[in-house]
Structure 1
């Protein structure tokens, strides 16, 4: 048995923030790093930099200027069937098997501004993405060691948003989205390891808008980034290990998201 630290982080351009990635990996001791919004093609991904930081094993799904996801690992990775739920063919899903764990990394669509599938094609895309993932989750063997993570673009609880009443009318926390996320979680029996580590009513966030000069002072955060484990993996979660790395959001030229991590004994 070995201990593996898994992180997920919407980096909002991996090439722009490669020095921050290296700093985070060094300071956090991350073994498996799942990135979203890498915003580059696969042949533009800074592979040498990841090798130098000790994460030479890579799975990358890139797209020019938009989206893109990647998994970087200290440990060797094996192929895994990706839960590709994007009907538009965007680079939003990537997977790998690491230390016997199936890691599925997602950048789920934000959904635009209007929470209406008919009026807003972006919101329809988001809901369709979740419907496809939920159908996949229903067919899974729940004893399989599976970790699902990434930027899910939904804050599920009133304690995952800065203002529940206001945000209930804003895409990312509308009732239909919360119900959709809960349906996916129930379909796979997934544990929300961050919320389980920090029970309600504690407020949690992993994203803060760039519009605020001081994100801590404005304190308008949302918990959009998640790590979920299947029933077959949840017993491997190390108690007390789940962490939201909020200080990273205060680094120079940061992503608007901060990383979250969890340790597994596998």
Structure 2
């Protein structure tokens, strides 16, 4: 099985590294900027790089994975020429199969790895859930065979369910990371070392995997400790954006407690 990679950003970078490690042949890497494609393919020889979406003029791949921005999917798909019978799949958690409706020829699908990717940080693909959808049974089977080369957690997931999963992932990953950044900023303003919070963060996450998080919620909002809450709000008077976050999350915790 041969793969083509469309894109050169974070997801594309980790897909290329993951496929190489898994022994999957990469036939072609595309980027709008040829030098970016060359840089991505530079670790190994023999990979065709291109800034053209006419893949009929490149070594043939069985599956083309589109790791491009969500808003660019329809435009890029409409410009692609792929070999007959090839599968073209995007890697988005929110976009439907219909985002690739402009594709001429080929079957379409979704190959969505549920992970946060940064070029600087290596990931372990075997533990990353890969969510799949195909326009045909044949496309799904091809994507499933490819995904199983990378991961032990491969799931067939239709568009509406995938959108719900992506929404949950934003809360679990993006918002959590942002709040950790807020916490670090507060410490830095007070000239305190950020590593003081690391054991607390680790314990919080480990506990959240062992128990339903709402059932092990702690802190002043959960206890109804309004004097501490007011003291915190006073400290946040010079940080209005963080004060608003504090008030909204405190209210959410209190609302959840009342439902229990």
TM-score (norm 1): 0.31
Which structure has more strand as a fraction of its residues?
1
Q: Which has the larger radius of gyration?
A: 2
Higher helix proportion (structure 1 or 2): 2
Higher relative contact order, chain-length normalized (CA < 8 Å, sep 6+): 1
TM-score by length of 2: 0.32
